Structure 1
Amino acid sequence: MASAMAAFEYEALDAAGKRTRGLLSADSEAAARKELRRRRLAPLSVSRASEKGAGANPVANLFKPGGLSEDDLTGVTRQLATLIDAGMPVEEAVGLVGGQADKAQVGRVLMGVREKVTEGERLSDAMAIYPDSFPGVYRAMVAAGESAGGLGQVLERLADYLEKAGALKRRVGAALIYPSVLGVVALLVVCVLLVAIVPKIAEQFDTMNMTLPLITRVMIALSDGLQASWPILLVAIVGAVLLYSVLIRREPVKRAVQTSQLGLPGLGGFARKVEAARFARTMAILINAGAVLPEALRAARRASDNLPFQAMLGEVIEQVETGKGLADALRQARWFPPLMVYMVAAGERSGRLVEMFQRSAEHMEAEVDGAITVGLSLLEPGIIIAMAVIVVGIVLSILLPILQLNTAALG
């Protein structure tokens, strides 16, 4: 049996002495160097692409993610869908996309995946080696497509889903630019007032033997505290962010945080809609690819990053496997909106479950998009109002003692 070809990353000099880098497939490092010489390239370094970064510091990985970006993943998915749907074997499709990748990281990851596929592993299992590049929802859908024999179709729908999600994220990012700039400017203005203006006014009040209003004393205390301990405050904020980033990776902490979020007014309902929309879209893709209902439910459960949602869906799976209808199990879970449960029930009765899940997904995604639009439209005036309240408070803390002095002088 022929040995599996591995992916190698190389750096070499061409005939003109120009340094070049790339990826190629070969049986061994010696074979890779021989192939480079055949291409009239002088190899400087050759290493297995799948071993790149092995043994890296896990702490450093927290600050330097090495996975594919969302745009890269979308492009790779679209290309794989086209090639596999055209009848090209998975191994060749992955190798072709990886070999033509413009970014070294994309090519390195895909060549590593191709190597594992060549060794006999399923595509979804090979992708699991790179969890930073291929999220759980992605791998679950690919696995279901492989099991049902509809991998190309699943990848095509995945590409559509990723493109829609990317477009929404870009729209939100563009809409957040102005509020973000406004918030930063507001914060700087408040800091300048507290650090530069309030202390000078406070010095004038200190020379006058008078009792200052409460709001003035509070502002002076805030100003003194900010001037004296801003380095400690900055370190505390950075430390809190880093501590949260580490603790949120622990399942008990993550479960507690997500459970508390679900209980918050507004945010809890939004989180439920997001999970319901993702669930409906995932189920539509998987069932349309030929996955049986329990298998599709388990894949949808793995696709979610919300632990309370996973626990709820586990109970739904148990009920479905014991013979209960999906709509009844979803209704009893008390997570999904009534309209979605009704559409699922109609799909079960009519045998059009895929269509009903697709309509439910479109409806829920429209609601999520509307909620995001409303939230963004309220963010800008909210920042302006908050800034106005703070500035008015600072101005009042300065004017009230002056008015008190004028009143005493006139009296």
Structure 2
Amino acid sequence: MPAFEYEALDARGRKSKGLITADSEYAARRELRSREMAPLALRSAEGRKMSAQADDGASLMERLRAQDLSGRELMLVTRQMSSLIGAGMPIAETLGLLAEQGGRHHMKRVLSAVRARVSEGERLSDAMKAYPRSFPAVYRAMVAAGEQAGGLEAVLARLADYLEKEEAVKNRITGALVYPVVLSVVALGVVMLLMTFVVPKIADQFTGMGMALPLLTRIMISLSAGLLASWPFLLAGGAALVIGAMLALRQASVRTGFDGVMMRLPLLGGFLRQVEAARFARTMGILIEAGSVLPDALQAAARATGNLAFRQTVEKVKADVETGRGLSDALQASRVFPALMLFMVAAGERSGALGEMFRRSADQLEQDIDGAVSVGLNLLEPGIILVLGGVVVVIVLSILLPILQLNTLALG
């Protein structure tokens, strides 16, 4: 049954908003009047405007709002769906209940629209296709695999675990980066203050004395003068460079080459490959245990990554598997995946427990990633302090050297 978003006046003349399900727009209006409410505007839950009586200002505000679920909202919805479906509640009723209890307005709209499609006979994974930004392709593929295998509850539970881990890692990195970022901004502010205000005034004092300045002082004075004269051009050039890089990275060929270079960098490249391998293993484990066939699982795992170079690698593995090559051999030939995962995949192929082996390798890789993130973040803070502290020391030293030189001359 379709869902509609309404704006109406109640018996006391107060404006209210909400969602209502009905067979048609006419039926929805009749239902509102039966509740002693005068409808002002009516739109489908999918956002198509159904009445010209809507307030233009309100419509603009609705269009400016985000219409997709955030990562945290998707995680919560997935966990709740798993619990409710596992308790025996039908999918349409589950979506309706979650829509009624939803927090933000667009969350209710998305869930109500998906519920309307499910009520009309569509599968859950097909109904989610109308909102690709809320439900990514790999998410829908996992849901479809669960529907086909009759294990939707288990797939949703694994998906919720997967999303929770990703959210936890993201929050941990974000929280740990707050202090280094603030420290960097403050230190850069101090450096800019010294270079644009302190150094020029010191230079004026020493220049008027006609004394020969030390080399370091002359270099700092030249840098300060250049910075004062060209800072608008530097700012514009930096902004143009950032915008140009962003536009270039939207091109698939440029992005693929950039991702490939990043994956080949020392230290950072190994970490990026491990992150992508862990996501790949987690996705494959969920899909295979849900009953998805291997080529389809590989295709969904390729979509799960944002690294286009890694995606090409997975697609090459899929093509090799479709020609009859063993999965472990195809993965090993790519020279991208960690040895631990290759060993466990080969063991899974021999024992018939491929999904479990993918899941175990994902657990181990994620533990290694957590350790690497902890070490990297612990080293980042002192590294920033040392680098920017060294810059400040050089600037201060360039100011002190002429003063010491003057004192030496005065004493002599």
- State if a TM-score over 0.5 links the two structures: yes
Amino acid at match of 1:323: G
Equivalent position of 2:217 in the other structure: 216
Equivalent position of 2:286 in the other structure: 285
Equivalent position of 2:29 in the other structure: 33
C-alpha separation in 2, matches of 1:147 and 1:32: 34
Pick one of 3, 8, 11 that aligns with 2:4.
8
Amino acid at match of 1:110: L
Equivalent position of 1:399 in the other structure: 400
- Give deviations 1:42-83, integer Å, cap 9, x for gaps: 3222112213599xxxxxxxx975321111111111122223
Deviation at 1:211, TM superposition (A): 4.1
Deviation at 1:119, TM superposition (A): 4.6
Cα gap change, 1:178 to 1:38, in 2 (>3 Å):
same
Structural mapping, 1:23-102, within 5 Å: 23-51=19-47, 65-102=66-103
Equivalent position of 1:387 in the other structure: 388
- Give deviations 1:14-42, integer Å, cap 9, x for gaps: 33443322222222222222222222333
Deviation at 1:157, TM superposition (A): 0.7
Cα gap change, 1:244 to 1:14, in 2 (>3 Å):
farther
Cα gap change, 1:228 to 1:31, in 2 (>3 Å):
farther
- Give deviations 1:76-123, integer Å, cap 9, x for gaps: 111222233334443333233223312111011122223343454433
3-state SS, counterpart of residue 377 of structure 1:
helix
Deviation at 1:354, TM superposition (A): 2.1
- In the comparison of the two structures, how many residue pairs are matched? 401
3-state SS, counterpart of residue 337 of structure 2:
coil
- Give deviations 1:224-261, integer Å, cap 9, x for gaps: 33334444444444444444343323211211221111
3-state SS, counterpart of residue 16 of structure 2:
strand
Given the two structures, how large is their TM-score scaled by the length of structure 2? 0.89
Cα gap change, 1:401 to 1:281, in 2 (>3 Å):
same
Cα gap change, 1:210 to 1:47, in 2 (>3 Å):
same
3-state SS, counterpart of residue 21 of structure 1:
strand
Structural mapping, 1:255-294, within 5 Å: 255-294=256-295
Contact 2:43 2:49 survives alignment (8 Å): no
Contact 1:140 1:300 survives alignment (8 Å): no
Structural mapping, 1:7-406, within 5 Å: 7-51=3-47, 65-406=66-407
Cα gap change, 1:79 to 1:133, in 2 (>3 Å):
same
C-alpha separation in 1, matches of 2:129 and 2:203: 62
Deviation at 1:183, TM superposition (A): 1.5
C-alpha separation in 2, matches of 1:211 and 1:69: 62
Deviation at 1:406, TM superposition (A): 4.4
Gaps of 5+ in 1: 55-62
- Give deviations 1:151-207, integer Å, cap 9, x for gaps: 222111101111122122222222222222212211221121112211110111221
C-alpha separation in 2, matches of 1:28 and 1:228: 67
Amino acid at match of 1:255: T
C-alpha separation in 2, matches of 1:69 and 1:103: 11
Contact 1:140 1:303 survives alignment (8 Å): no
Higher relative contact order (CA 8 A, sep 6+): 1
Cα gap change, 1:131 to 1:222, in 2 (>3 Å):
farther
C-alpha separation in 2, matches of 1:225 and 1:64: 44
- Give deviations 1:329-354, integer Å, cap 9, x for gaps: 11111111111111111111122222
3-state SS, counterpart of residue 207 of structure 1:
helix
C-alpha separation in 1, matches of 2:241 and 2:65: 19
Cα gap change, 1:127 to 1:322, in 2 (>3 Å):
same
Cα gap change, 1:121 to 1:240, in 2 (>3 Å):
farther
Deviation at 1:403, TM superposition (A): 3.4
Gaps of 5+ in 2: 51-63
Amino acid at match of 1:358: R
C-alpha separation in 2, matches of 1:373 and 1:110: 37
Cα gap change, 1:172 to 1:66, in 2 (>3 Å):
same
C-alpha separation in 1, matches of 2:132 and 2:229: 45
Given the two structures, how large is their TM-score scaled by the length of structure 1? 0.89
C-alpha separation in 2, matches of 1:211 and 1:123: 79
Amino acid at match of 2:351: S
Identity of matched residues, %: 58
Higher deviation after alignment, 36-45 or 283-292: 36-45
Contact 2:282 2:359 survives alignment (8 Å): yes
RMSD (CA atoms): 2.6
Amino acid at match of 2:102: A
C-alpha separation in 1, matches of 2:208 and 2:395: 20
C-alpha separation in 1, matches of 2:35 and 2:250: 47
Higher deviation after alignment, 84-93 or 159-168: 84-93
Amino acid at match of 2:354: L
Higher deviation after alignment, 243-252 or 73-82: 243-252
C-alpha separation in 2, matches of 1:52 and 1:232: 46
Amino acid at match of 2:340: L
Contact 2:257 2:309 survives alignment (8 Å): no
3-state SS, counterpart of residue 336 of structure 2:
coil
